[in-house]
Each structure stands twice: as C-alpha cells, then as structure tokens.
Amino acid sequence: MGSNLLLPINFAAMRIVLIIVFAFISISVFSQDARPEVVCSCSEVHVVPFESLKTLKTGGKEYHIPIVFHVFDAHNPEQRLNYETAKKVIELLNRNFAAKNVLIAQVQEEFKHLLQDSKIIFHLAKKDPSGNSTNGITYHRQALPGDNPGSNLTLKKEVNWNMGSDYSGIQRYLQVWVTNNVNGSGNGTGWAYLPNTDEGGKMAGIVYNYKYLYGSSSDNVFTHEVGHYLGLSHVFGSSYDYCGDDGIDDTPETQCFTWECKKGDLCNDGLVNTENFMDYSGCTSMFTKGQVDYMHYWLEHDYRSNLWSESNLKFAGVYEDAYVGLQDELETALNVYPNPSNGIINISGIEGFRAELFDVLGNKVKDCTCSTMQYSIPGIYFLRITHKGHHITRKIFIKRS
C-alpha cells in the first residue's frame, strides 16, 4: 500500500462489530455447507504514519496468552461449550496464528511470501484471579445478550475478571464472553474493541456467539475477532468504499462485503488477498508479515503488554505449559563442543539463538548470533544461549592452543 507503515490510533469511538446475516449461499471452499454472510459495521479509522514498527525487534520472541471463556445460557451453559470443545477452539486458534491452517496451501502464489507465523500462542487459563484452579471456562445460568458496542455491556458487567477499579484483570487474561445473542437478534458472530481505546483497555475482550466457536464453516471468524483484539482492522478498512485500505503496507486494497473466495479479483488493479483472516471470505487462512508486526506492537504496549509476561503466566497457571517443557527440550537439543576448547566453540541442535560468553567475573567478552564462536584467551567461561526467551548456560574451558 503506502510507503510508510500505518497504524490506526485515536480510536475514541472505534468499535468493531461483526453482524451475520443468514443468507444461505454456497462458498467455493465450503460447497457443502451453508455459510452466513458477514456484514461489517464500524466507525471511521484514523491513521497516521507509525515509524516505530520499522524498528520493532522481537527477536523471535513468543507471546503466550491465557484465555478464559465465560459461558452464558438460561438452561444449559455447560452444553454450549465444554472443555473438550474449548481445547479444540484453542488448537485451531494456535494453528491459525502459526500459519498452519489446513487451507494454507490454497493461498495465491502472489501472497505466499507474506505468510507469517505470529509466534502468538494461546492457553486455557488454569488459575482464576483468586488463585483457584480453573479449566479456563466459567458457566453462568443466565440468558444475557451480548449487545453491540455502545449499548449496555450486560455480559461484561455481569462477569469480568477485572480485579478492582484499576482493571488489572484485563491485563491478566484474554476474556471471551460466550452467548447465543450477540447483537440483539441472535444472528451475530461477535465483536471486540481495538486496543487503543478506553473501552479496549477497561473492557477488553471478545463477545462471541457459541454457534460459531467450533464445528461450523465459520470457525475462523473467532481468529478474526482475536485479530481485532490484538490491533488489526479489517483489510478493507472501515470506509465502506468499493476498495478499502487497512493502512498496512503488505495487505492490498480489498473490496468490502465480499463473501466468496473470488481469487484473482482486483481492487484498483491490485490482487485481493481473500485468504486474509481479517477479510470476510470463506477461505481465510493467513496473516501477513505486516499484520504480525502490528499485533506484536500492541502486545509490547499499553493494556496488552502484561498478558504474556512471565509473572502473569504464572499468575494464570500456564507458565509451565508455555515454557518449562520447551526449556527441557532445548536443554536436550543443545550441543556445545568441543569442551575443553582451543578457542573455537561450535553450537548446534537449535536455530535462531544468541550466544554470549562471560568470564568468571561476569564480564561479557563475546556476543554473536553465530553457530561457531571464536575466543582464544585461556580460562574458565560461561556460555549463555538465549532462544525464544529461554536461557541455557554451559561452563566452557578454553585451553592454550
């Protein structure tokens, strides 16, 4: 799109709403399933150049996020979303955010180089704000509407792990309020606030219709909503123009209100990325590199920045799921040789790491992202390997050559 990366900001009135109109049409990818059309309804997005995205360096960092589902139904909330289904929802969400969706092979060749694993991983919470064990689901025998943004947020006021007037709970979990009546008529999928809004801070989370969480041709719409929660707008923007823009360089202009997978469609002579999760087509399967940068930016700033911290993952009971198992795998995979060394240290078994060499006084004497480190001064040293936020240290003896 433009030469500068753009970021939507100043969303004082920004709301993202997904409203489903039940028009039973046949989508090429889901030719056997009736798929509801998705209609966008959102206010104007203001965009400004955002140069910080160009220098944002996450170094292969992974972002682990705890999720809790608050399920509402007048009679049988347990039947609306059980634990096994919730696990499948998370598994699909993680596949989508890791660029491993089953439809990924159908992405048009022109966009395959933009495919990006977001390194964002979701976990069902295992502890509630009081430290009690949870399976990541709470049940409420009430028939409360989800309500579109701007009206009474009944669900959120009824159950919200906010933990006080400072809204610290919003920084602890991605909360999802599950109901069968999202927009008053019962036929909406869900809605979420973008991060840079007052509501997106104090009342952050997703209101969602249980019908579309898992087991329908609309499964990927939940990924779409999580994209909003992490800062992404629709790829067609919010202007309702024939060909709209979301302000991200590598997402092309896209036609609003396009339901089908019309690959090869053009907007202003540019190919449309109908496979993008932030579109409304029936073949969504990818985020672009630019979109991943946007999500990483918001995870590093404001209300989302505490979600993935080590202390918060321990608070929500998912730290071991996120890191301990991987730490053990890295310890087993890492190979450092020879030791003792004559000044050449080889590092193998893992990729995408940083190697730092310290003397016995704690002074760093060498630093590189190389698989072969050279340092010839004899002595005892400590080699620290950093990979995906994990640290592994090995004692190294460098002998006289």
Identify the pLDDT of residue 103.
84
Q: Are 314 and 321 in contact (CB under 8 A)?
A: no
Residue 43 confidence (pLDDT): 35
Q: What is the pLDDT of residues 100-157, one digit of tens each?
A: 988 888 888 888 888 889 999 999 999 999 999 999 999 999 888 777 666 666 777 7
Q: What CATH number has the domain bearing residue 345? A: 2.60.40
**What pTM does this model have?**
0.73
Integer CA distances (angstroms), 121 to 116, 157, 282, 322, in order? 14, 27, 24, 8
Strand pairing class (206-209; 174-179): parallel
d(CA 292, CA 379): 44
Distance CA 390, CA 300 (A): 18
Query: Do 210 and 66 fall into the same domain?
Result: yes
363 and 242 belong to one structural domain: no
**What pLDDT is recorded for position 241?**
60
Sequence-separated (6 or more) residues with CB below 8 Å from residue 364: 356, 357, 358
CB 319 within 8 A of CB 343: no
Q: Does residue 27 carry a pLDDT above 70?
A: no
Enter the tokens of residue 335: 């190979």
pLDDT at 51: 52
* Residues 82 and 222 both lie in one domain: yes
Report the distance separating Cα 241 and Cα 244, nearest Å.
5
pLDDT at 249: 79
- Tell me if 385 sits within 8 A of 391, measured CB to CB: yes
pLDDT score for 342: 94
Residue 36: its H or E element:
strand 35-42
Where in the sequence is the domain holding 285, given as residue range(s)? 62-320
The reply to whether 122 and 229 lie within a common domain is yes
Q: How many helices (H) and strands (E) does the chain have?
A: 11, 19
26 band by pLDDT with thresholds 50, 70 and 90: very low
- Give the mean pLDDT of 340-362: 93
Decide which of 320, 344, 363 is a domain's last residue: 320
209-213 long-range Cβ contacts below 8 angstroms, 24+ apart: 209/20, 209/146, 209/178, 209/179, 209/180, 209/181, 209/182, 210/71, 210/73, 210/80, 210/81, 210/178, 210/179, 210/180, 211/180, 212/20, 213/81, 213/85, 213/89, 213/178
Percent of the chain with pLDDT strictly greater than 70: 74
Q: Which comes out higher in pLDDT, residue 150 or 290? A: 290
Residue 49 within any structural domain of the chain: no
Q: What is the DSSP string of 82-103?
A: -HHHHHHHHHHHHHHHTT--TT
Alpha-carbon gap, residue 13 to 2, rounded angstroms: 25
Q: Which amino acid is present at 317?
A: G
33 has a pLDDT exceeding 50: no
Confidence bin at 325 (pLDDT 50/70/90): low
What are 40-84's pLDDT values in tens digits?
Answer: 333 333 343 345 555 555 556 889 999 999 999 988 898 899 999
Query: Are residue 275 and residue 363 in the same domain, yes or no?
Result: no
91 pLDDT exceeds 90?
yes
Please give the pLDDT value at position 386: 87
In this prediction, residue 399 has a pLDDT band, given cuts at 50, 70 and 90, of: very high
CB atoms within 10 A of CB 14: 24
Task: Clarify whether residues 262 and 226 are in a common domain.
Answer: yes
Domain total of the chain? 2
pLDDT digits (tens, 9 = 90+) for 164-194: 666 666 779 999 999 887 876 666 788 888 8
102 occurs within a structural domain: yes
Q: Give the three-state DSSP class for 53.
A: helix
Do 270 and 292 belong together in one domain? yes
- SS3 track for 111-146: HHCCECCCCEEEEECCECCCCCECCCEEEECCCCCC
pLDDT for res 7:
35
Q: Is the pLDDT of residue 235 over 50?
A: yes
